[in-house]
Chains A and B, each alone.
Chain A
Amino acid sequence: MADTPVAVPPAPTSAPAKPTVKVKIEAPAFREYPTIPALRADAMIDPDPYVSSAAHNEALGFPGTLVDGWEQKAVAKMGELLGKYRSLKVYMDACVHCGACTDKCHYFIGTGNPKNMPVARQDLMRSVYRRYYTLPGKLFPKLVGARDMTKAVLDDWFRYYNQCSECRRCSVFCPYGIDTAEVTMAAKEIMDSVGVGHKYVNEIIAKVHKIGNNLGLPGPALENTLEGLEEDVLEDTGVAVKYPLDVKGAEVLLVTPSADFFAEPHVDSLIGYGKVFHAAGISWTLSSKASEAGNFGMFIGNYEQMQKIAMRVREAALELGVKRIVVGECGHAWRVAYSFWNTLTGVGAGANDPFAIELQKQLDPNYKQPSHICEVTWDLIQAGRLKFNKEANDHRIVTFHDSCNVARGSRMGDYAGGQFEIPRNVIKAVANHYVEMSPDTIREKTFCCGGGGGLLTDELLDLRVKGALPRMESLKHIVDHDGVNFMATICAICKAQFTKVLPYYGFKMSMVGGVHQLVSTAIVLSNEQ
């Protein structure tokens, strides 16, 4: 990065009073070398995430506001989780404060706030754990860094557990494999249980239950949008590609993030999925009931919500009588689908449930259930069932950003690392120019986009911009050296986050797009297919 500006650590500022005017958000300077930032103790304490309203909390079965005697209830809830999740207890006990995780978090790198070191984030809970669940902490709290559960502690939890995108990068570097994401999820579960929720996430989950998707897109609007897409694709290509909704007896049910219907560049990938099914002659459908792949229940660590949201997909699959379930470009949805669906809603959840057995019989055992859209496309490419005009992508020099939940929470294909190879294979099959970012920032070491884990909300924009720093640095390097002008990704959050933050770093927002956007550009279609 020879021509990038030399980093000057931003001067520490005293904590500002609650701003009445908008704070100007600026990106941190690119660093010449990826060094550990100077500590800024008070960075990122303002603004706090918005607290969820009583109506949204109650819609999810949580208390509307902070309950009486919340201190005891929060501690009791922690005890319940420690009993239920052995992993959480191990994570509380195992840390030796070696420091390997400290500079691995994108939010620490971007903000310099020591509380964004993963170990410090864990210690917010660990200190309380020690006070109530370890003998030394009960007897000599001060000696072992144990703290009472107080309002100040709760405020710190709310602030800093909402500065963790649950990306799990730190866990890759932890010698004990401590997963800070799981600690964050537990903290959010505890906070929700005493009536303190994050507005963005809880409002969205309430919407899923009420309307069917994160966006709040009702069936008629979805139908109208899909009809519009059919017109557009016909106009662009001369081919009548269909975007079917609620078609009984279709072979494939595609479940995709609702952002694919609404936002740019997301919709270009949706157009691409339709073209792939059309070219391969596979009948498919979307569902107005399961019009959302995303499952924010995971972000708040709440098993019941995660299950309830996932159940919509199983119900839609049964009602429509499909043979295959395919998941579109959504990072955390794929983690939930690949890693949890079986035990959440499938035969793994109990096997004697007639509902699950019915679905199991209905689904075609010749295919992975569920499949990722990249697996579908790659299988078709290998079988010679898709044709591409790769030159159509020649105006693009492409790189691939691994999304954290796909990279570190799931897999694709039938071999280790398939989740890294298959999307890249698809890109290389449809585009001639491909460049990798620095090896320390891709595959299992990928950096979060800065907006995952339920933090993709406007009040946290300053955090999101700063947290994108390490990804932007590695992008900058290949933009300068290799002329890269397109960063492909397979996650709706990544796409929305980058669209927003790229301009802060001097890039065009149109640089980010989906893998199936590239497929869409190059695929050869005909009306006979």
Chain B
Amino acid sequence: MSSIEVNGKSYETDEEGYLVNLTEWNEDVGKYLAQTESVEMTDQHWEVINFLRDYYNEFQIAPAVRVLTKAIGKKLGAEKGTSQYLYELFPYGPAKQACKIAGLPKPTGCV
């Protein structure tokens, strides 16, 4: 197992840098994980991250890409409710990269 260190505290991660204990997540850990992904966090990024975390708390899974785009579209305007917009924010793919920064498990399967 690997680990990362943020503000003097150590956090366990898996081989790919996903947080192992989801409850340990906080904003600083999110910022650190974003750095490892070379993603510069803006308010728009945080909108996505916060939605992911809220959805995960309710359903124990990250939202489907379509659910996410719809929610972001409602919040930030229809022109931003597209997967293209999400890929601009999270170039490696909204599902995997945004989940990692949000401290959620990686979506598995044929995705």
Interface residues, chain A, with chain B CB atoms under 8 Å away: 50, 199-200, 203-204, 207, 213-218, 220-221, 224-225, 228-229, 232, 257-259, 261-264, 266-267, 292, 294, 330, 456, 458-459, 492-493, 495-496, 500
11 more A-B residue pairs beyond the given contacts A200-B108, A213-B109, A500-B93, with a C-beta to C-beta distance below 8 A? A207-B108, A215-B109, A217-B61, A221-B61, A262-B109, A263-B65, A263-B110, A264-B66, A267-B64, A267-B66, A496-B111
B59 adjacent to A259 (CB under 8 Å): no
The B53-111 residues at the A interface (CB cut-off 8 A) are 59-61, 63-67, 70, 83, 93, 95-96, 105, 107-111
Q: Which residue of B lies closest to A330 (CB)?
A: B110
Can you list 10 A-B contacts with CB-CB less than 8 angstroms, sorted by A residue number? Answer: A50-B16, A232-B70, A263-B64, A263-B95, A263-B111, A264-B65, A267-B64, A267-B66, A294-B109, A458-B16
Q: Do A224 and B67 form a contact, CB below 8 Å, given A217-B61, A218-B61, A458-B16?
A: yes
B16 adjacent to A459 (CB under 8 Å): yes
Interface residues, chain B, with chain A CB atoms under 8 Å away: 15-16, 59-61, 63-67, 70, 83, 93, 95-96, 105, 107-111
CB distance from B56 to the nearest CB of A (A): 10
Q: Do A220 and B59 form a contact, CB below 8 Å, given A232-B66, A263-B95?
A: yes
Q: Which one, A224, A258, A264, A493, contacts B83 given CB within 8 A?
A: A264
* Residue numbers in B under 8 Å from A292 (CB-CB): 109
Q: Which one, A203, A224, A259, contacts B111 given CB within 8 A?
A: A259
Q: Do A214 and B110 form a contact, CB below 8 Å, given A224-B59, A225-B67?
A: yes
A203 to B60, CA, bound (A): 17
For B66, B96, B107, B111, the residue with the greatest tally of chain A CB atoms inside 10 Å of its CB is B111
A456 to B109, CA, bound (A): 8
CB distance from A157 to the nearest CB of B (A): 20
CB distance from B85 to the nearest CB of A (A): 13
For B61, B95, B110, the residue with the greatest tally of chain A CB atoms inside 10 Å of its CB is B110
> Which secondary structure dominates where chain B touches chain A?
loop
A496 to B93, CA, bound (A): 11
A257 adjacent to B109 (CB under 8 Å): yes
* Residue numbers in B under 8 Å from A216 (CB-CB): 61, 105, 107-109
CB distance from A51 to the nearest CB of B (A): 9
CB distance from A42 to the nearest CB of B (A): 22
Q: Do A493 and B110 form a contact, CB below 8 Å, given A261-B64, A262-B65, A264-B65?
A: yes
10 closest A-B pairs by CB: A214-B109, A492-B110, A221-B59, A259-B110, A263-B111, A215-B109, A262-B64, A221-B61, A493-B110, A225-B64
Q: Do A215 and B107 form a contact, CB below 8 Å, given A220-B59, A221-B61, A264-B83?
A: yes
Q: Which one, B59, B66, B109, B111, contacts A218 given CB within 8 A?
A: B59
* Residue numbers in A under 8 Å from B61 (CB-CB): 215-218, 221
CB distance from A48 to the nearest CB of B (A): 11
* Residue numbers in A under 8 Å from B96 (CB-CB): 458
* Residue numbers in A under 8 Å from B15 (CB-CB): 50, 199, 459
A257 to B105, CA, bound (A): 20
CB distance from A264 to the nearest CB of B (A): 5
* Residue numbers in B under 8 Å from A263 (CB-CB): 64-65, 95, 110-111
Q: Which residue of B lies closest to A204 (CB)?
A: B108
* Residue numbers in A under 8 Å from B63 (CB-CB): 221, 225
CB distance from A316 to the nearest CB of B (A): 18
* Residue numbers in B under 8 Å from A200 (CB-CB): 108
* Residue numbers in A under 8 Å from B111 (CB-CB): 215, 259, 262-263, 266, 496
A217 to B105, CA, bound (A): 12
A54 to B111, CA, bound (A): 24
A229 adjacent to B110 (CB under 8 Å): no
B16 adjacent to A229 (CB under 8 Å): no
Q: Which residue of B lies closest to A258 (CB)?
A: B109
A229 adjacent to B108 (CB under 8 Å): no
* Residue numbers in A under 8 Å from B66 (CB-CB): 225, 228-229, 232, 264, 267
CB distance from B7 to the nearest CB of A (A): 22
B107 adjacent to A262 (CB under 8 Å): yes
* Residue numbers in A under 8 Å from B64 (CB-CB): 225, 228, 261-263, 267
